[in-house]
DNA sequence: GGTGTGATCATGCCTGCATT
DNA sequence: AATGCAGGCATGATCACACC
């Protein structure tokens, strides 16, 4: 009340004037009521409290209103101002400035001028501007400078937008373009610094883009909001989905902590299930508990309590640091809360990694020896541009593969890279010839020594035979990987593919595969004219190695599918429309048993009961 | 996240011009 | 000549941004 009373004569702002008038009327009404006086006669109605007079109306009205009011006070103020002159020059506010600068306001009581537009539309950061607080710097120069200032221009833009709503729409369109640019940068993983040049490019293409927000910080803000919006959409879809499956892909990082990418599969009313990235979680430890905690955090972040809400039906765990034991342990742990959980072999892009990791141990040290030798051979060329050039001329295939691999030191299993072994076999003679040449150069002692060691490896009968045999094994695993990468692969089919692979591997243990056969046919006393060493000494040893590799590989593949989930997963073959019988009669009874089995498995699941009830009621 | 740098703005002083 | 005013210029404060 005090403030308003104080401001009663202090402002010519239209908003203030209207409010002051209302206050005056209310005060009168209050006084009347206090004095217990009768209501005023209907000719002078007491206005009601502040109606919906919008700011917009006041703004549009304020110019004429202010000017009118000023006209009445102009003379008196002028007289008062002139009386105070004397001695050092005193600058005074000149009322004609109000006509010259429409945004200018002046309060004779406070003897301050300010900018009406800036006061209404300023941003937090510039609240200290003299033309917002109130200035006593009565110089036309000062006002002109303010009119040209960026702050004023920005506020003016906002003011005009408010006055003309149709411009807001245009601004929205322009901002949408800016959002597109920010989204593009984020989704392509491009630096935020590209924001401005990209926006400028669009401008050159005659697209209207706003001039503001073109710095990195604002781009980051836009990306942040885009991300938030997309996540909220996803969360909403997840909440609506009656069932969820989770895929966890662990990753070992030697520099930072281990982490796991959590993906979630959900169903909507139409179309197939969707798979989306949920979040990346740091692993406190690569243990069952570490993974469960990561799962808690991933779902906790979107307000889903997976243990209580009981909507999770499937789990796939993959990754370099995930052992068979860990995978099984995790399944056991989660099944304590969600007994219907299916643990399925999720898409396995690189089965050779897991197989090689699992089978390589002390008994099969030959694998690691081979790996080390291969890495040394590739490194020998990879990190010497000169040697690489020489290799390019003679052994183009191997050179290409080496380049493709990038940093050899970062490749987990060179053996697993099918094309590397293939390339080595293809360019075998050229590589051996080149190494021989390098080893014979006395001026490059270091390189010569390495080349000699590598020659020793390449001209070893057992090494070469092992490479041929591994090519057979890797080929089987590569076919499996290819099958896993198929777009519409059913779980039941994945199981079949694993079975097939196990079968093929067992055949390799008994009879030589395609590659080994080729080796045996080619090798007669020497190999393409290269005399191999340690001939036949290791034939028995090789056979034992071959057997072991096959056995272990079979075992690892067999463990891929969780035994508890197997029966349900096999029953899910019923969903493969291609396997349905043509005959209508037979179709009726087709897979009745399997459907019943799947139903019984999920029967205990609360959300299934709800889903079925909802279906019935509709 | 701290720091240096340039841009912007408010302010005061000075000067030149117009008016009294 | 005195006075008033606009505009130029210098200066310090503050802010945004780039860089480390």
What whole-number distance in Å separates Cα of residue A478 and Cα of residue A504?
12
pLDDT in the model for residue A57: 32
Chain C: positions less than 7 Å from a protein CB are 3-9, 14-18
Residue A106 pLDDT greater than 50, yes or no: yes
Instruction: Answer for A122: CB within 7 Å of strand B.
Output: no
pLDDT in the model for residue A447: 79
Quickly state the pLDDT bin for A70 (edges 50, 70, 90).
very low
Contacts 24+ apart (CB under 8 A), A399-408: A402/A378, A405/A378, A408/A375, A408/A378, A408/A379, A408/A382, A408/A383
Instruction: Answer for A135: CB within 7 Å of strand B.
Output: yes
Could you tell me the distance in Å between the CA of residue A211 and the C1' of nucleotide B15? 40
Contacts 24+ apart (CB under 8 A), A304-310: A304/A238, A304/A239, A306/A244, A307/A337, A307/A338, A309/A607, A310/A337, A310/A338, A310/A605, A310/A606, A310/A607
Please choose, from the candidates A432, A523, A534, A427, the residue with its C-alpha nearest in 3D space to the C-alpha of residue A469. Answer: A523
Instruction: Answer for A43: CB within 7 Å of strand B.
Output: no
Site of tokens 């110089």: A139
A32-59 pLDDT, tens digit each: 777 776 554 444 333 333 333 333 333 3
**A519 or A346, which is more confident:** A519
What whole-number distance in Å separates Cα of residue A199 and Cα of residue A214?
8
| Paired tokens of A271 | 């179309």
In the predicted model, what is the mean pLDDT of residues A148-172?
69
Q: Which helix (H) or strand (E) holds A316?
A: strand A312-319
A92: left (phi over 0), alpha (psi -120 to 50) or beta: beta
C-beta neighbour count of A230 within 10 angstroms = 12
Instruction: For residue A526, give the 3-state DSSP assignment.
Output: strand
Closest nucleotide C1' to the C-alpha of A154: B8
C-beta neighbour count of A205 within 10 angstroms = 8
Give CA separation, A555 vs A33, A306, A360, A548, A558, in Å: 96, 33, 13, 11, 5
Residue A9 pLDDT greater than 70, yes or no: no
Domain boundaries, chain A: 95-162, 164-228, 241-343, 355-568
List Cβ neighbours of A11 (8 Å cut-off, separation of 6 or more).
A17, A105, A107
What whole-number distance in Å separates Cα of residue A331 and Cα of residue A336?
9
Closest nucleotide C1' to the C-alpha of A196: C17
Closest nucleotide C1' to the C-alpha of A142: B10
Q: Which residue's alpha carbon is at the shortest distance from the C1' of C16?
A: A215
Residues with CB under 7 A from strand C: A 85, 89, 91-92, 94, 125-126, 128, 139-141, 144, 215-217
What whole-number distance in Å separates Cα of residue A384 and Cα of residue A392?
12
The residues that bridge with A343 in the sheet, in sequence order, are A315
Q: Which helix (H) or strand (E) holds A263?
A: strand A259-266
Return the CATH architecture of domain A241-343. 2-Layer Sandwich (3.30)
Please choose, from the candidates A327, A291, A322, the residue with its C-alpha nearest in 3D space to the C-alpha of residue A306. Answer: A291
Q: Classify residue A524 by its DSSP letter.
A: B
pLDDT in the model for residue A555: 81
The residues that bridge with A250 in the sheet, in sequence order, are A260, A319
In the predicted model, what is the mean pLDDT of residues A274-287?
85
**Phi, psi (deg, nearest 5) at residue A225:** -70, -35
pLDDT in the model for residue A18: 59
pLDDT in the model for residue A585: 80
**A608 or A6, which is more confident:** A608
Instruction: Answer for A145: CB within 7 Å of strand B.
Output: yes
**Phi, psi (deg, nearest 5) at residue A465:** -65, -40
Rounded (5°) CA angle A168-A16-A146: 60
pLDDT in the model for residue A325: 76
Instruction: Answer for A103: CB within 7 Å of strand B.
Output: no
| Paired tokens of A500 | 């097939």
Quickly state the pLDDT bin for A79 (edges 50, 70, 90).
very low
**A348 or A287, which is more confident:** A287
A517-539 pLDDT, tens digit each: 888 887 777 777 777 776 666 67
C-beta neighbour count of A416 within 10 angstroms = 24
Instruction: For residue A205, give the 3-state DSSP assignment.
Output: coil
List the single range of A20-29, A273-282, A335-344, A532-541 with lowest mean pLDDT: A532-541
C-beta neighbour count of A505 within 10 angstroms = 25
List the single range of A315-329, A347-361, A401-415, A510-524 with lowest mean pLDDT: A347-361
Instruction: For residue A235, give the 3-state DSSP assignment.
Output: helix
Mean pLDDT of chain A: 73
Could you tell me the distance in Å between the CA of residue A162 and the C1' of nucleotide B12? 37
The residues that bridge with A106 in the sheet, in sequence order, are A113
What whole-number distance in Å separates Cα of residue A17 and Cα of residue A107?
12
Q: Which helix (H) or strand (E) holds A276?
A: strand A274-282
Chain B: positions less than 7 Å from a protein CB are 8-12
What whole-number distance in Å separates Cα of residue A417 and Cα of residue A350?
10
pLDDT in the model for residue A446: 77
Could you tell me the distance in Å between the CA of residue A99 and the C1' of nucleotide C5? 18
Sign, CA torsion A434/A436/A441/A445 = positive
What whole-number distance in Å separates Cα of residue A458 and Cα of residue A476?
24
Instruction: Answer for A146: CB within 7 Å of strand B.
Output: yes
What whole-number distance in Å separates Cα of residue A556 and Cα of residue A365?
18
Could you tell me the distance in Å between the CA of residue A221 and the C1' of nucleotide C15? 20
The residues that bridge with A382 in the sheet, in sequence order, are none
A442-484 pLDDT, tens digit each: 777 777 888 888 888 888 888 888 888 888 888 888 888 888 7
Contact between A299 and A282 under an 8 Å Cβ cutoff? The reply is no
Could you tell me the distance in Å between the CA of residue A129 and the C1' of nucleotide B10? 8
Contact between A32 and A40 under an 8 Å Cβ cutoff? The reply is yes
Instruction: For residue A490, give the 3-state DSSP assignment.
Output: coil
What whole-number distance in Å separates Cα of residue A512 and Cα of residue A519?
10
What whole-number distance in Å separates Cα of residue A460 and Cα of residue A541?
14
The number of angstroms, rounded, from the C-alpha of A310 to the middle of its chain's C-alpha atoms is 26
Quickly state the pLDDT bin for A577 (edges 50, 70, 90).
confident
Instruction: Answer for A119: CB within 7 Å of strand B.
Output: no
In the predicted model, what is the mean pLDDT of residues A603-617?
72
3-state secondary structure A136-191: CCCCHHHHHHHHHCHHHHHHHHHHHHHHCHHHHHHHHHHHHHHHHHHHHHHHHCCC
Could you tell me the distance in Å between the CA of residue A25 and the C1' of nucleotide C5? 43
Dmax over CA atoms of chain A, in Å, equals: 129
Sign, CA torsion A278/A280/A285/A286 = positive
Closest nucleotide C1' to the C-alpha of A128: C14
Chain A, 258-277: which CBs lie within 7 Å of strand B?
none
pLDDT in the model for residue A123: 55
pLDDT in the model for residue A2: 35
Burial of A206 (0-12, 13-18, 19+ CB in 10 A): exposed
Instruction: For residue A247, give the 3-state DSSP assignment.
Output: strand
Counting residues of chain A whose pLDDT is more than 70, the rounded percentage is 73
Instruction: For residue A320, give the 3-state DSSP assignment.
Output: coil
What whole-number distance in Å separates Cα of residue A432 and Cα of residue A427?
9
Cα Rg for chain A, rounded, in angstroms?
A: 40
Closest nucleotide C1' to the C-alpha of A132: B10
Residue A257 pLDDT greater than 80, yes or no: no
Exposure letters A297-327 (e unless 16+ CB within 10 A, then b) = ebbeebebebeeebbbbbbbbbbeebeeebb
């Amino acid at each position: 009340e005090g403030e308003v009373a104080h401001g009663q004569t202090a402002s010519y702002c239209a908003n203030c004037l209207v409010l002051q008038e209302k206050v005056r009327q209310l005060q009168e009404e209050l006084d009347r009521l206090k004095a217990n006086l009768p209501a005023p006669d209907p000719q002078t109605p007491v206005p009601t409290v502040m109606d919906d007079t919008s700011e917009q109306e006041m703004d549009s009205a304020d110019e004429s209103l202010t000017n009118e009011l000023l006209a009445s006070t102009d003379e008196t103020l002028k007289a008062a101002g002139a009386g105070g002159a004397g001695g050092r020059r005193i600058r005074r506010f000149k009322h004609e400035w109000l006509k010259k600068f429409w945004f200018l306001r002046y309060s004779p009581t406070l003897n301050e001028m300010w900018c009406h537009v800036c006061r209404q539309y300023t941003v937090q950061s510039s609240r200290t501007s003299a033309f917002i607080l109130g200035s006593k710097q009565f110089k036309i120069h000062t006002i002109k400078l303010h009119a040209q200032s960026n702050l004023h221009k920005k506020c003016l833009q906002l003011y005009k937008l408010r006055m003309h709503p149709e411009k807001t729409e245009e601004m929205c369109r322009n901002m949408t373009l800016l959002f597109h640019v920010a989204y593009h940068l984020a989704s392509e993983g491009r630096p935020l610094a590209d924001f401005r040049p990209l926006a400028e490019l669009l401008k050159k293409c005659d697209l209207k883009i706003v001039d503001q927000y073109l710095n990195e910080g604002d781009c980051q803000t836009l990306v942040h909001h885009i991300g938030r919006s997309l996540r909220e959409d996803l969360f909403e879809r997840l909440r609506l989905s009656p069932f969820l499956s989770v895929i966890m892909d662990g990753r070992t990082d030697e520099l930072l902590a281990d982490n796991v990418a959590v993906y979630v599969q959900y169903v909507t009313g139409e179309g197939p299930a969707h798979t989306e990235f949920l979040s990346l979680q740091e692993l406190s430890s690569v243990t069952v508990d570490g993974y469960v905690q990561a799962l808690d955090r991933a779902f906790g972040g979107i307000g889903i309590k997976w243990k209580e809400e009981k909507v999770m039906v499937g789990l796939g765990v993959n990754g370099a640091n995930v052992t068979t034991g860990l995978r099984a342990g995790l399944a056991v742990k989660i099944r304590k809360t969600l007994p219907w959980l299916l643990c399925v072999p999720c898409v396995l892009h690189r089965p050779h990694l897991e197989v090689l990791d699992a089978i390589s141990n002390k008994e099969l040290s030959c694998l690691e020896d081979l790996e080390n030798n291969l890495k040394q051979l590739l490194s020998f060329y990879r990190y010497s541009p000169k040697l690489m050039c020489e290799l390019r001329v003679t052994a183009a295939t191997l050179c290409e593969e080496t380049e493709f691999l990038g940093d050899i030191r970062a490749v987990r299993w060179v053996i697993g890279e099918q094309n590397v072994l293939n390339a080595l076999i293809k360019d075998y003679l050229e590589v051996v010839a080149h190494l021989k040449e390098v080893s014979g150069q006395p001026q490059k002692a270091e390189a010569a020594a390495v080349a000699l060691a590598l020659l020793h490896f390449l001209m070893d009968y057992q090494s070469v035979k092992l490479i041929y045999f591994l090519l057979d094994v890797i080929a089987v695993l590569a076919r499996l990987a290819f099958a896993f990468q198929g777009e519409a692969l059913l779980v039941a089919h994945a199981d079949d593919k694993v079975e097939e692979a196990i079968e093929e591997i067992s055949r390799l243990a008994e009879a030589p595969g395609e590659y080994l056969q080729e080796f045996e046919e080619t090798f007669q006393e020497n190999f393409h004219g290269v005399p191999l060493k340690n001939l036949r000494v290791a034939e028995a040893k090789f056979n034992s190695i071959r057997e072991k590799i096959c056995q272990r590989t079979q075992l690892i593949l067999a463990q891929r599918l969780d035994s508890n989930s197997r029966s349900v997963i096999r029953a899910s073959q019923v969903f493969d429309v291609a396997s349905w019988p043509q005959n209508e009669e037979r179709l009726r009874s087709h897979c009745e048993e399997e459907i019943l089995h799947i139903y019984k498995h999920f029967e205990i699941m609360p959300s299934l009961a709800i889903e079925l009830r909802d279906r019935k009621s509709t």
